[in-house]
Structure 1
Amino acid sequence: MSGPALIILFLASMVYLFISIVKFKMNPFFSMISAAIAIGVLAGMDLDMLVTGITSGFGNICAGLGIVVAMGFLLGGMLSAAGATDSLADAALKKFGEKHASLAMNLTGYIVSIPVFYGSAYVILNPVLRTLSQKTRKPIHVYITALSVGLLTTHCLVIPTPGPLSVAGTLGVNFGWFILYSLIVSIPGALIGGWLYGEFLGKKVYHYDEPTFTETEISAQERHSDEKRAPASLAMAIIALPLLLIVFGTLIPMWTDVPMIVSVCKFFTAGNGVIALIVSVAFAAVTLRPYVKEDYAPLFTKNFNEMGEIMLLLGAGGSFGAIIQASGIGDYFVSLLQSWNVPLIFLAFLLCLLMRSALGSAAVAMVTTSSIVAPLCSQMGESGIVMGLAICAASMAFATPTDAAFWLVQKLDNLSFKDTWITHTFGNAIACVVMFAIVLLLNACRGFLPGL
């Protein structure tokens, strides 16, 4: 099949994914697997090679991320069950005061979403929004925007969440450096798209309305104030532990060549940081035990069950990306870029934007795009970290009705379709633009920046 025909085939697959998922409500797993099969057949791939590509693409993602995602789910489940996320929100409000309550909510979301998945974290922290709105007499839209953008920023950029984890693994970059630069990129995005944009909405777009819900609903957080909850300091230590193990495991070998120390560092950073996460889960299990009322066995089972769908979606994204590459579409992109002189960083960014809008899942869009971009990155001598951050930043935008998070925000907070776009979608789009601008700056300076 000719190059232009391959591009048409790729675009047609995007349209198919959008229609099948949005209009016909097909499960994204089946949509992506069927799209991968259709691309392979229409591109004239050998059928044995097609099957091998689908299974190997799926297997590679699961092999690299299975244990890591499982540990991430367990960590988040224990923190939630121990009331640690509530403690973090209370501590942030106490630290920043009611005047800067939206900043506290934004930073709380930013921190909590590192170990806890976006959907779970938003549900857990949502009752705090109404309480803050009433106490500060600001529109609830201010806090919805602050929390939503804060949560999604780390969900899309900071390891150990599955999306950025898969991007870093697929591109073969150093996890420690990726974490450091993802923090540099994501913090301004979260603050501008979540906190500052939310405050703008509260001053220029919305006004405060007296609540019509009951005192019980308003005080969901206060209702549990007498319960024994894990302190915020312990929650912060648990969240920081895997990140510190990975970062220091990356940096320490640069300062010493003592064999034993280097071996220990490699032990904690190998396998996508799986040992660092296992150690963190063990630490959490011991330190949070006094605060978790239920037994760990059913809690772990519940989190493993929730993990299943995530792994299927990530695996299907890996299959789709593998077939995109094996069909020749990736190679044609290389020749097209060379003839047009289009920088790879823009291709990676736009490709992820397109897939994010079509697939609805930021994680799936990231893993699929990185599968396509990885061989191009090595061929063109680009920085894997910069390309990975561009892909992760792009996954923030287009939080449209194809994304379950869009409906989660609308339903939980009783927003209109328009208001959901203004708060959730536009806020995350602003964060995306800010972060991509920083990524471009890093790319321009990568000649003298370490790790790039």
Structure 2
Amino acid sequence: MTRLSVEMLAADPVEPITSAGHAQLGIAVLAGIAVIVLLITRFKVHAFLALTIGSLALGAFAGAPLDKAIASFTTGLGATVAGVGVLIALGAILGKLLADSGGADQVVDTILAKAGGRAMPWAMVLIASVIGLPLFFEVGIVLLIPVVLMVAQRGGYSLMRIGVPALAGLSVMHGLIPPHPGPLVAIDAVQANLGVTLALGLLVAIPTVVIAGPLFSKYAARWVDVPVPERMVPVRASEELRKRPGFGATIATVLLPVVLMLAKALVDIVVDDPENMVQRVFDVAGSPLIALLSAVIVGMFTLGRAAGFSKGRLSTTVETSLAPIAGILLIVGAGGGFKQTLIDSGVGRMILDISEDWSIPALVLAWLIAVAIRLATGSATVATISAAGLVAPLAADMSTTHTALLVLAIGAGSLFFSHVNDAGFWMVKEYFGMSVGQTIKSWSVMETIISVVAGAIVLLLSLVI
């Protein structure tokens, strides 16, 4: 089952695991989050254990039977590891191939030579936006992290100055631009025009990513001064390489998943027939798992063999790439378990029920509903799917452009303030070696800026078009 289909099912569970009222559920959510934050920050408990305990505490405060709370947590953990975990593992292998072969050195040296000083954050946001156009956020992270860390380390840049623009580029693409799953589902739900939504999405995305990326990174670098985490930097083995891969071959290998996923998206739009053989082939080739696996296999030849690696040396590279990510996999998986416990407890439905009586403009309502579900469940995709389903009737009398803006308002709201119930929060925290507080001051604030700026631009556009 794909990540999208898993989250669509999670967004609308058949039956909540608790019959608690709205007030009790609200208290349970706050209590669960408080337990996690206190365990990590005050008692220095490992994030995996804190998320596990916090999920069970949430279920207890919500009045859910313990066995059902455990089942929800393990289901969410399993689904997250099955989707995101495999991608992280493949990304780690590709990153280690890049490092050991000297390919990452080649890319970083070229970037540093072409874009130094003040231009570097702008170069990173451009690279991230291009790579992030067809990719899931998690895939983009695992592809970009080695380059981000090495550029920051070798060029002497603040990690936040380089990392925040890259994360902003990925996040904006994920929330606002089709063919990402959230925008596509919202387009289908409100019957928006794909081309118009894409055009307006790019119009909203460009100023948003500039403000939340290069501009905000100046302040993030002052607020969060963390060194590049040595354990996460791809380190090349000490042996002398007779040669290293060329820049073109290295970039082609890294961009292979991008090309495959973008080709899938284009074929889905042009062919639009699930039974068509061409579309079925591209649906497989362009899935995140196959796209990244293809890059790893190709990389063994274009990177490993190009550097003169033997079969044994390639096997060693793959083996040593997986050990450093074990902790990350468990933490991200536990984040998915906490999210699933929230959803199965009926928190998403609670937000929808409360919002039915709100009498405010459609675009603002769509943004607020998406914000509320995002804060409660931690999932941008679940927030987008749920909000789109609720406000779909409002699109009946809208023009083509305003229907597209409704989709973008939902997407903007779905990115608001990522925190401890979002698996992406833990990915960023662990990859960048930050504390919970530092992650909130950088990543969470950046996500909020994206959401508010994009929402404001959508409202402004609704007044002029």
Per the shorter chain, which TM-score range? 0.5 to 0.7
Which amino acid letter does the alignment assign opposite residue 262 of structure 1? Q
Q: 1:285 and 1:266, CA in 2 relative to 1: closer, same or farther beyond 3 A?
A: same
CA positional deviation for 1:320: 1.5
**Using the alignment, how far apart are the partners of 1:401 and 1:56 within structure 2?**
18
Deviations for 1:365-406, whole angstroms, at most 9, x for unmatched residues? Answer: 854x65577555545549888756644464399999997469
**Using the alignment, how far apart are the partners of 1:82 and 1:188 within structure 2?**
37
Contact persistence 2:149–2:159 (CA under 8 A): no
Q: 1:390 and 1:179, CA in 2 relative to 1: closer, same or farther beyond 3 A?
A: farther
Q: How does 1:270-309 map to 2 (within 5 A)?
A: 272-289=287-304, 290-291=306-307, 295-309=313-327
Residue 294 of structure 2 aligns to a residue in which SS? Answer: helix
1:243 aligns with 2:258: yes
Aligned to 2:277: 260
Q: 1:147 and 1:339, CA in 2 relative to 1: closer, same or farther beyond 3 A?
A: same
1:128 aligns with 2:154: yes
Q: 1:63 and 1:182, CA in 2 relative to 1: closer, same or farther beyond 3 A?
A: farther
Which amino acid letter does the alignment assign opposite residue 248 of structure 2? S
**Using the alignment, how far apart are the partners of 1:384 and 1:314 within structure 2?**
28
Which amino acid letter does the alignment assign opposite residue 337 of structure 2? S
Aligned to 1:195: 214
Residue 258 of structure 2 aligns to a residue in which SS? Answer: helix
CA positional deviation for 1:43: 2.1
Q: 1:284 and 1:182, CA in 2 relative to 1: closer, same or farther beyond 3 A?
A: farther
Deviations for 1:424-444, whole angstroms, at most 9, x for unmatched residues? Answer: 946984575246533665699
Aligned to 1:24: 43
Contact persistence 1:57–1:321 (CA under 8 A): yes
Match of 2:331 among 288, 313, 318: 313
Q: How many residues align?
A: 389
Residue 44 of structure 2 aligns to a residue in which SS? Answer: coil
Aligned to 1:346: 368
**Using the alignment, how far apart are the partners of 1:428 and 1:52 within structure 2?**
29
Which amino acid letter does the alignment assign opposite residue 279 of structure 2? V
1:62 aligns with 2:88: no
CA positional deviation for 1:260: 2.9
Aligned to 1:48: 67
CA RMSD of aligned residues (A): 5.0
Deviating more after overlay: 336-345 vs 369-378: 369-378
Q: How does 1:175-254 map to 2 (within 5 A)?
A: 188-196=207-215, 228-254=243-269
CA positional deviation for 1:344: 4.7
**Using the alignment, how far apart are the partners of 1:315 and 1:201 within structure 2?**
27
Contact persistence 1:102–1:195 (CA under 8 A): yes
**Using the alignment, how far apart are the partners of 2:280 and 2:431 within structure 1?**
44
CA positional deviation for 1:232: 2.8
Q: 1:343 and 1:316, CA in 2 relative to 1: closer, same or farther beyond 3 A?
A: farther
Aligned to 1:76: 95
Q: Percent identity?
A: 21
Q: 1:49 and 1:348, CA in 2 relative to 1: closer, same or farther beyond 3 A?
A: same
Deviations for 1:78-104, whole angstroms, at most 9, x for unmatched residues? Answer: 222233333223323433466735544
Q: 1:406 and 1:319, CA in 2 relative to 1: closer, same or farther beyond 3 A?
A: closer
Q: 1:18 and 1:75, CA in 2 relative to 1: closer, same or farther beyond 3 A?
A: same
**Using the alignment, how far apart are the partners of 2:308 and 2:459 within structure 1?**
45
TM-score by length of 2: 0.65
**Using the alignment, how far apart are the partners of 2:367 and 2:173 within structure 1?**
19
Contact persistence 2:121–2:214 (CA under 8 A): yes
Which amino acid letter does the alignment assign opposite residue 438 of structure 1? A
Deviating more after overlay: 291-300 vs 102-111: 102-111
Deviating more after overlay: 60-69 vs 184-193: 184-193
**Using the alignment, how far apart are the partners of 2:164 and 2:303 within structure 1?**
28
**Using the alignment, how far apart are the partners of 1:385 and 1:59 within structure 2?**
31
Residue 296 of structure 2 aligns to a residue in which SS? Answer: helix
TM-score by length of 1: 0.67
Contact persistence 1:58–1:315 (CA under 8 A): yes
Match of 1:433 among 438, 442, 449: 449
Aligned to 2:418: 395
**Using the alignment, how far apart are the partners of 2:297 and 2:37 within structure 1?**
41
CA positional deviation for 1:273: 2.3
Deviations for 1:136-195, whole angstroms, at most 9, x for unmatched residues? Answer: xxxx5xx55431213333565667xxxx9xx95899789x99999998876655544443
Which amino acid letter does the alignment assign opposite residue 418 of structure 2? S
Q: 1:283 and 1:444, CA in 2 relative to 1: closer, same or farther beyond 3 A?
A: farther
CA positional deviation for 1:242: 0.7
Deviations for 1:302-330, whole angstroms, at most 9, x for unmatched residues? Answer: 32223332332232222212221222322
Which amino acid letter does the alignment assign opposite residue 124 of structure 1? M
Residue 56 of structure 1 aligns to a residue in which SS? Answer: helix
Aligned to 2:398: none
**Using the alignment, how far apart are the partners of 1:169 and 1:153 within structure 2?**
17
Contact persistence 1:145–1:195 (CA under 8 A): no
Residue 57 of structure 1 aligns to a residue in which SS? Answer: helix
Flag structure 1 segments of 5+ consecutive residues without an equivalent.
131-139, 206-223, 356-364, 411-416, 447-452
Contact persistence 1:73–1:304 (CA under 8 A): yes
Residue 288 of structure 1 aligns to a residue in which SS? Answer: helix
Contact persistence 1:345–1:387 (CA under 8 A): yes
Aligned to 2:167: 152
